[in-house]
Amino acid sequence: MSDELLRALDQAGVRLTGPRREIAALIAKRNGHFTAADLIADASKRRLGVGRATIFRLLDLLAEQGLVERVDLPDGRHAYVPCEPSHHHHLVCVACGAIAEVEDCGIDAVTSEASRRSGFTIESHRLELFGRCPNCRSAN
């Protein structure tokens, strides 16, 4: 579960400490997105005794490694989603919070068209898709 996260941290050359293992386990246990507040609540519920700062620090680290990504939900809150380090986009279920990743699927055409029209050089982009996952749609 959390092994991938830990392995990646190890490869990044940082120490594998107790708190990091515990937080990684909490992240692995969640599926879909979560907020920093969720993790903090989880940690305090289980009396892990890890501080808020440590959680934010680990999230930063994971984000640097591309193992976790920040997404901005439509309501303006932000969440983190565990994911593969390759470039991709997220599909977020607005009902249950499930996440799907989609690899590049034609966005380059969009960016180059936008670039052509505006004269801008495009360096990066952010695409987030919001909708309903198959389960939530059929449950309706």
Partner DNA sequence: GGGGTGTTGATACTTGGTCTCATTGTGTGC
Partner DNA sequence: GCACACAATGAGACCAAGTATCAACACCCC
> Using CB under 7 A, which of the segments 29-37, 89-97, 106-114, 123-131 binds DNA?
29-37
Q: Which token pair is 135?
A: 């389960």
Q: What are phi and psi of 112, to 5 degrees?
A: -75, -30
- Map residues 91-130 to x or -, x wherever contact with a copy of itself holds by CB under 8 A: x-xx-----x-x--xxx-xxx-xxx-xxxxxxxxxxxxxx
Q: Which residue has the tokens 């305090």?
A: 44
Structure tokens at 45: 């519920």
Instruction: Judge contact between 40 and 52, C-beta under 8 A.
Output: yes
Find the shortest distance in angstroms from Cβ 52 to DNA. Answer: 5
Q: Of 2, 8, 19, 96, which one interacts with DNA (CB under 7 A)?
A: 19
Sign of the alpha-carbon torsion through 90, 95, 98, 102: negative
Q: Residue 57: which residues within 8 A CB-CB, separation 6 or more?
A: none
Site residues (vs DNA, CB under 7 A): 14-20, 35-37, 49-54, 56-58, 60, 70, 76-78
Site residues (vs a copy of itself, CB under 8 A): 70, 72, 74, 76, 89, 91, 93-94, 100, 102, 105-107, 109-111, 113-115, 117-134, 137
